[in-house]
Amino acid sequence: MSIEFAKKLHAHETPIPGVVLYDLPVHGDNRGWFKENWQREKMVALGLPDFHPVQNNISFNEKAGTTRGIHAEPWDKFISVATGKIFGAWVDLREGPSFGAVFTAELNPSQAIFIPRGVGNAFQTLEDNTAYTYLVNDHWSADAQGQYTFLNLADDTAGIQWPIPLEQAELSDKDKAHPRLKDVAPMRPKKILVLGANGQLGKALRDHYDGDTSVEFAGRAEIDLTADESLATVNWKNYSTIINAAAYTAVDTAETPEGRLAAWNVNVSAVVRLARIAVDNDLTLVQVSSDYVFDGSKKTHGEDEPLTPLGVYGQTKAAGDAAVSVVPKHYIVRTSWVIGDGNNFVRTMASLAARGIEPSVVNDQIGRLSFTTDIAAGIGHLLRSGAPYGIYNLTNDGPVQSWADIAADVYELSGGYSSSVTGVSTAEYFRGKAAAPRPLNSLLELGKIKATGFTPREAGEALRAYLKVTPVLNASQEVFLRR
C-alpha cells in the first residue's frame, strides 16, 4: 500500500455541494505510520461543519472487490480509510438542483471525506483486508433504516466506472435490488418547526411559508412548551430549525403574582428547555425578543447594548435571551410594538375612530411599529441567507414616532381626523392605574439586519397596507382611499 507522507491538511471541494475531500497529514517511519484522523479544531477552521459526531463505526472487508451501497443515510458522516484502499462513489440523492450529481475518488489512509445527510455513498475495496472508519452525528437504530434512500450500484444515469466490474464484485442481494435513479424518491431536507403558530407572529409565519412543506407549525395544543413530556414526544432529529413564536406578552398582568409565574414559565423556563433541545440536537433556534429588555434611557438601542429591563415582562424576555445566547446556532430577533393578526394598538385606534371617540394617547414613548409580516420575512431571510448567528434588531423602518403620532395616522387613514387624538404623558395616562414600567425610547437600530440584505418596509407603508388603504396621487396632493 502506497501512502504519501507529510501532506498538509487540505480540503478539496467536489461537484456535490457539501461533499468535501480532505488530505490528512500522515507521519511514518520504519515502524509504521500515525495520523490525526479526526481533529475538530483544525478541521472546523478549514471549513468542515462542526457536525457533532456521536458514534464511530468500522467496516472490515476481507477481499478486494467487496462493494457496498449506494446508501444515503439520515445523518452526516466523516469517512476515512484505516488500512487498505477503496474506490468511493457518491451520488447526491437530496431533493434539489444537485440531485443525481456524482463524484468518485480512490481513498487510502491519507485521505478522508465528509458526506452530508442525503448523499448516497458506496465503497469498493481495491485491496484485501481493507478497513474504513466513519463518524456519524446520530445514533444508529433500526427505525432510522426506514429513512434511508437507496440507488442501484449499476444505475446507467450515474454511470459509475467501477474498477472491478460489478459482475465480478462481491455484492449483497439487497444492494442488487436497489432502484434506478428515475425511481428514487429524493431525501427531503430536515424541517423547520414553528412553535406558537397560532399567535400574531405565528399566523404571519404561516403566511410567509405557505405552500412550503418543509415547514411545520405547532400551537400549544400540539406542543406545550411548558411541559417536558410534551416536548419529549417530538423526534427532534427530523428538524434543522426551531422558530419560537410563543411568548407571554401581557405586560401589566405580568406584575401580578399569577402573571409573574406565567411569564417566567413561558418566557424563561420553556425557552431554557428549547435551548437545551437545540444544543443536544445541533438545531438552529430562532427566538423573538423585545424592546422591553432595555430601560429606554438611550437614544437608540443597538444589538450589543447591555440588558436593563424595568419590569417583569422585560426581565423574563432578557432571561430568555440569555438562555438562547448559549446555543451555538441562534438568532435572537428583537422587535418593538408588534402589530399583526389579532388584538393590537392599531386595531383599537381604528375601532375608536370608526365610533367617533376622541382618545388620549401617550406621546412621550417613542419607537417604530413592527408588523408581523415584516418580522416573518426577516426571519425567513436570516435562515435562507445563512446570515451570521447572533442578535438582530427587526422593526419597520422610517421616522421615529410616539404612540400618539401613530394613533393620529390611524385616524387619518380610517377617515377620521388626527386632531381627535390628544397626547398625554405616560405618567398622566397611567395615574392611579396598576401598570408595568415601560421604556420611553424603544428605537432599535436596523443597520445590522440591513447589512445582511434585508430592508424592512417603512412603517407608514406597512400601516397603510395593514389598514388596506391605497395612496392615490392627484396633481396637488396625496389622497387616501379605503379599498
In a 10 Å sphere around its CB, with 0-12 CB exposed, 13-18 middle and 19+ buried, how is residue 385 labelled? exposed
Same domain for 342 and 435? yes
At 119-170, the pLDDT tens digits run 999 999 999 999 999 999 988 776 666 689 999 999 999 999 999 999 999 9
The CATH number that applies at residue 44 is 2.60.120.10
- 36 is in which domain, residue-wise? 10-183
**What is the total count of domains within the chain?**
2
Active site residue 134: yes
- Note the pLDDT tens digit of each residue in 44-54: 999 898 888 99
C-beta of residue 394 within 8 angstroms of C-beta of residue 449: yes
- The answer, yes or no, to whether residue 476 has pLDDT greater than 50, is no
Average pLDDT, the chain: 93
Q: Are 114 and 215 members of one domain?
A: no
* Together in a domain, 178 and 206: no
CATH number at residue 270: 3.40.50.720
Tell me the whole-structure pTM to 2 decimals.
0.86
Q: How far apart are CA 9 and CA 26, in angstroms?
A: 9
Of 10, 12, 22, 71, the active-site residue reads 71
Residue holding cell 383599537?
348
User: Helix or strand or coil: residue 291?
Assistant: helix
C-alpha distances (whole Å) from 253 to each of 27, 153, 296 are 67, 64, 21
**Does 112 score more than 90 pLDDT?**
yes
407-453 pLDDT, tens digit each:
999 999 999 999 999 999 999 999 988 899 999 999 999 999 999 99
pLDDT higher than threshold 50 for residue 480: no
Q: Stretch 168-194: mean pLDDT, rounded? A: 95
Q: Are residues 229 and 362 in the same domain?
A: yes
Give the per-residue pLDDT at 2.
Answer: 62
List the one residue out of 336, 475, 458 whose CA is nearest residue 409: 458
The answer to whether residue 71 is catalytic is: yes
Residue 482 confidence (pLDDT) above 70: no
pLDDT of residue 459 exceeding 50, the answer is: yes
Q: Confirm whether 5 is domain-assigned.
A: no
Structure confidence by residue, pLDDT tens digits, 66-108 = 999 999 999 999 999 999 999 999 999 999 999 999 999 999 9
Both 114 and 223 in a single domain?
no
Q: How far apart are CA 101 and CA 241, in angstroms?
A: 26
Q: Which of 416, 400, 337 is nearest to 369 (CA)?
A: 337
Flag whether pLDDT at 345 surpasses 90.
yes
What are the beta bridge partners of residue 23? Answer: 10, 111
State mean pLDDT over 214-221: 95
Q: What is the pLDDT of residue 164?
A: 97
Set 22, 132, 134, 248: catalytic member: 134
In a domain, 383, yes or no: yes
Q: Do 224 and 343 sit in the same domain of this protein?
A: yes
